[in-house]
């Protein structure tokens, strides 16, 4: 297989490899400047990139493309593939016998179900973890034992694979332009994303930084480390500046001024206020 430019081990059997890069900060700026086709109007690359990113002029960023080779558990791959702007080719269990490699939680333990987010986990771990971890490992091994027995009995690969656990590792070639890649990273590096896919996103982010430094700087300033305010939040901050917040709680203001913010929205707004020091 093609030698990787960079490689990072992720989880117990997974990895991310950067295989190829097309383009740079300069590529993006040249693509943008063709719009007015006048070399005399060339501006500083960094300033141009920051302006375009802050103003959501996205098409020039699609001129830069990254190709990766990745190996991850199937349950992570099914989240990953939701980003449909990529080009990918995945290993096929119809053609190939899958190696006995699966993900388990022996190193970090089993997270509790989040009480505030139906699709998320808590930082805290489940009690009596050793027993559950052994049971999970045994279940995964039993699945692969059945898989091999079915293959030895002559059952087709496409049917035998149906009985493997979702923790089984898969791998693919994955290619995406920079604009959509940064959108993927914004979502999957977020603290609300599942910890396992965050590990892959962080590995990818560290790999691409050096190839487009001006873009990464703008991405961090305007997207990754910024915050968005809704209409209700802007009005609430205005009410605070007018002294109303000292008289009423945020929940009372939400009710009296009919903002209609949900409990989750109020919680998110309180975290924004704390970040702003308000």
pLDDT by residue (tens digit) across 143-154? 999 999 999 999
CATH code of the domain containing 71: 3.30.1360.170
Residues 118 and 208 placed together within one structural domain of the fold: no
Model pLDDT for residues 95-145, shown as the tens digit of each residue: 999 999 999 876 667 777 767 666 666 666 666 666 888 888 899 999 999
Residues 76 and 178 placed together within one structural domain of the fold: yes
Residues 256 and 189 placed together within one structural domain of the fold: no
Residues 216 and 173 placed together within one structural domain of the fold: yes
pLDDT of residue 237: 84
Model pLDDT for residues 205-241, shown as the tens digit of each residue: 999 999 999 999 999 999 999 999 998 888 888 877 7
Residue 193 class from Cβ within 10 Å (0-12 exposed, 13-18 middle, 19+ buried)?
A: middle
Total number of domains in the chain = 3
Residues 16 and 153 placed together within one structural domain of the fold: no
42 within a domain of the structure (yes/no): yes
Nearest to 276 by CA among 218, 224, 227, 223: 227
Residues 209 and 239 placed together within one structural domain of the fold: no
188 within a domain of the structure (yes/no): yes
User: Which residue range forms the structural domain that includes residue 32?
Assistant: 6-95+167-224
Residues 42 and 90 placed together within one structural domain of the fold: yes
Task: Give catalytic residue positions.
Answer: 188
Structural contact between residues 76 and 194, judged by C-beta atoms closer than 8 angstroms: yes
Residues 134 and 23 placed together within one structural domain of the fold: no
Nearest to 263 by CA among 251, 275, 272, 273: 251
103 within a domain of the structure (yes/no): no
Residues 256 and 237 placed together within one structural domain of the fold: yes
70 within a domain of the structure (yes/no): yes
Residues 122 and 28 placed together within one structural domain of the fold: no
Residues 181 and 206 placed together within one structural domain of the fold: yes
Residue 178 class from Cβ within 10 Å (0-12 exposed, 13-18 middle, 19+ buried)?
A: buried
Residues 90 and 20 placed together within one structural domain of the fold: yes
From the CA atom positions of the chain, what is the Rg in Å?
24
Structural contact between residues 221 and 47, judged by C-beta atoms closer than 8 angstroms: no
105 within a domain of the structure (yes/no): no
């Amino acid at each position: 297989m093609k030698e990787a430019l960079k490689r990072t081990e992720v989880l117990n059997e997974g990895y991310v490899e950067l295989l190829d890069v097309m383009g740079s900060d300069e590529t993006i700026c040249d693509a943008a400047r063709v719009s007015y086709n006048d070399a005399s109007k060339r501006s500083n690359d960094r300033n141009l990139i920051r302006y375009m990113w802050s103003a959501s002029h996205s098409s020039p960023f699609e001129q830069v493309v990254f190709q990766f080779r990745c190996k991850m558990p199937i349950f992570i791959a099914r989240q990953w593939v939701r980003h449909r702007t990529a080009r990918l080719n995945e290993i096929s269990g119809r053609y190939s016998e899958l190696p006995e490699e699966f993900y388990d939680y022996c190193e970090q333990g089993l997270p509790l179900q989040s009480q505030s987010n139906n699709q998320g986990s808590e930082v805290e771990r489940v009690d009596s973890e050793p027993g559950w971890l052994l049971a999970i490992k045994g279940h995964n091994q039993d699945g692969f034992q059945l898989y091999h027995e079915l293959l030895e009995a002559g059952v087709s690969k496409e049917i035998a694979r149906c009985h493997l656990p979702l923790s089984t590792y898969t791998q693919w070639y994955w290619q995406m332009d920079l604009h959509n890649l940064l959108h993927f990273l914004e979502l999957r590096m977020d603290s609300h994303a599942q910890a396992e896919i965050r590990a892959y996103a962080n590995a990818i982010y560290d790999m691409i930084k050096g190839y487009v430094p001006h873009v990464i700087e703008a991405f961090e300033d305007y997207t990754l480390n910024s915050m968005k305010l809704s209409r209700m939040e802007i009005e609430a901050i205005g009410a605070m500046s007018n002294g109303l917040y000292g008289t009423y709680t945020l929940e009372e203001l939400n009710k009296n001024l009919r903002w209609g913010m949900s409990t989750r929205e109020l919680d998110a707004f309180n975290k924004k206020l704390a970040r702003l020091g308000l």
